[in-house]
Amino acid sequence: MTAAPTFVRACALEELAEDTPKRVELDGTPVCVVRTEGEVFAINDICSHANVSLAEGEVEDCQVECWLHGSSFDLRTGKPSGPPATRPVPVYPVKIEGDDVLVSVTQES
Ligand code: FES
């Protein structure tokens, strides 16, 4: 049986500048929240190649680039577009309620 996703508040929508990732911690999970191309995305903040924060990278074309070795991760799927990272990072459902950005980190993918 799959539990319904539980959404928790990540931040205010106005705290998210376009293409500027923000790191938050939700239920002990580090999450990189990005507002880009008119949408908000939430992706696990730890690069799948090594233990660094993706929120410190740059956003372009709906991808966040890891600052350390340059793999880019698709914000919609979590998949890396090229090496050295080979594994995807988890992505999480996002809901906007009023001025709040809500993210569910409980969903199994
Ligand atoms: S640590 Fe992210 S690509 Fe190497």
The pLDDT averaged over each successive group of 10 residues in the chain (109 residues) is 82 98 97 97 98 98 98 98 96 97 81
Cα–Cα distance measured from residue 24 to residue 8, given in angstroms and rounded to the nearest whole number? 11
Give the pLDDT confidence score for residue 5 in this predicted structure: 79
Q: Is the CB of 46 within 6 Å of ligand 1?
A: no
pTM score: 0.93
Give the pLDDT confidence score for residue 2 in this predicted structure: 63
CA of 48, closest atom in ligand 1: 2
Q: How far is CA 15 from CA 7, 60, 80, 90, in A?
A: 18, 19, 27, 23
CA of 53 to the centre of ligand 1 (A): 9
Cα–Cα distance measured from residue 81 to residue 44, given in angstroms and rounded to the nearest whole number? 16
Residue whose Cα lies nearest atom 4 of ligand 1: it is 69
Amino acid at 39: E
